[in-house]
Amino acid sequence: MVDNPFESAKKQLKAAADLLGVDKRTFSVLSQPKNELTDDIPVRMDDGHTQNYNSFRIQHNDALGPFKGGIRFSQDVSMDEVKALSMWMTWKSALAGIPFGGAKGGVICDPKVLSQAELERLSRGYVQQYVDNIGPDKDIPAPDMYTNSQIMAWMLDEYEKLTGHHAPGAFTGKPVELGGIPAREAATGYGGFVAVQEIAKLLKLKPKSTTVAIQGFGNVGHNAAEFLFDAGYKIVALSDSQGAIYNKSGLDPGAAMACKLEKGMIAKCYYAGSVTDKAKARVIGNDELLELDVDILIPAATENQITAKNAGSIRARAVVELANGPTAPEADKILHQGKIPVVPDVLANAGGVIGSYFEWVQNNYGYYWTTKEVNEKLARIITTSFVNVLERSREHKVDLRTGAYLLAVSRVAKAVQLRGGD
Ligand code: NAD
């Protein structure tokens, strides 16, 4: 069983590269990051002592455009996780047809125990470490798990101080006041909503009678839940890292989030006000959520949640991956055999990088669009990608992930070859 995300990422690439007949030299370029940057960031803590935090910036490929990818602050982040995430970013941008490559960053830390001042010094320290490697035409970071627009604001400010000029396009996911766009915050959730609509259409599911379980109630899971709820889908289960709630008759994600903010965890919210009614609701385990009898299962938390161990117990009619890498390759096979389509992360959660691309384009032009315009353009890209991926997977009789990889890998491989193979 593979539970190393980078091993999973390489297996996924190999499956597509074999089908495409990618030559050895190009395959070796695609299967490893171009640059693996890692260093300790010294941070002065509030009590006066200095703490070193191990950090990474992994730049996988820039054949199609500047490296692009978020920065994750987490105690569990590792080099191999960031390497996998950087590779997935390359495929995601290529599949969406946007002129970016793939990268990812991380800092091993527990952001929950840091004060705001310590968090700011850590964010600025990250930029001091990697200033020569990032920039609007080089590598454009963005928020990821446990990082947000405030952190991007500190990072942009530090970058502009160090380089001596304005460069809003050096980071995306910024506050609107600093060149961010209002649609970016919810863009991954919105793109995920569009992906759910596409798979629902394919399975002939009507929103009102379609049940949805969402693992992970953070930025992505919460925004997706809100769009789905507004369109009439029935959200029956939600979870965060501390537990899950289930209600057969449906949950209101807005009220659930208000309660989670008040009580600190979703598991304390099963009977909160209008969220749900006490008689029909219950607290369930995180593992149980994945195995619920629902129409759509949305993993929106972290990697390796559906594995060879639990894939056989998945009862959803379709899985829509809003997290990166939630399904291990062995689990993919089991789900495919069980005729459970998986809308892969590189397609379903591409709304984030597409939103970032629109932010970057507008920063470069200094000319801004409305949220409606942004969402329409974003939905068009996700829908077109979905149709192309479906067509490719049917043509080759493979699952949707392999169909997506066939498209993405062939685009990047071609660009690598045109540049001379490195
Ligand atoms: P977030 O930090 O806002 O939320 C993560 C949520 O998952 C939290 O509610 C956390 O409690 C929960 N969680 C963590 N482990 C869990 C577990 N084992 N079971 C249940 N819940 C768990 O992060 P986010 O930005 O929403 O990102 C979520 C996923 O989506 C990540 O895989 C990220 O890489 C991916 N993603 C995010 C974006 C984006 O724009 N934010 C874009 C593309 C992909």
Residues 206, 140: Cα–Cα separation, whole Å: 39
Each domain of the chain, given as residue ranges in start order, spans 35-170, 187-343
CATH for 187-343? 3.40.50.720
Q: What is the pLDDT along the chain (422 residues), one digit of tens a residue?
A: 347 889 989 999 999 999 999 999 999 999 999 999 999 999 999 999 999 999 999 999 999 999 999 999 999 999 999 999 999 999 999 999 999 999 999 999 999 999 999 999 999 999 999 999 999 999 999 999 899 999 999 999 999 999 999 999 999 999 999 999 999 989 999 999 999 999 999 999 999 999 999 999 999 999 999 999 999 999 999 999 999 999 988 999 999 999 999 999 999 887 654 455 656 788 999 999 999 999 999 999 988 999 999 999 999 999 999 998 999 999 999 999 999 999 999 999 999 999 999 999 999 999 999 999 999 999 999 999 999 999 999 999 999 999 999 999 999 999 999 999 76
Per DSSP, the three-state class of 106 is: strand
> Which residues lie closer than 8 Å to 420 by C-beta, 6 or more apart?
none
The CA 48 to ligand 1 mean position distance, Å, reads 32
Model-level pTM?
A: 0.94
CA distance 344 to 306: 13
Q: Is the CB of 290 under 6 A from ligand 1?
A: no
Q: Of all atoms in ligand 1, which is nearest to the CA of residue 72? A: 34
Same fold, 35-170 and 187-343: yes
For a ligand 1 pocket test, name from 239, 241, 266, 321 the mutation site with the most ligand atoms within 8 angstroms of its C-beta. Answer: 241
Q: Which of 373, 329, 296, 352 is nearest to 100 (CA)?
A: 352
Task: Count other C-beta atoms under 10 Å from residue 372's C-beta.
Answer: 9
Q: Which two tokens stand for residue 14?
A: 């190999």
As its CATH architecture, domain 35-170 has: 3-Layer(aba) Sandwich (3.40)
Catalytic residue among 83, 92, 104, 234: 104
What does residue 371 show for φ and ψ, rounded to 5 degrees? -60, -35
Contact 178, 156 (CB under 8 A): yes
The neighbouring-strand residues paired with 38 are 56
CA distances from 137 to 38, 58, 102, 167 (A): 21, 16, 13, 10
Tokens of residue 376, six digits: 């329409």
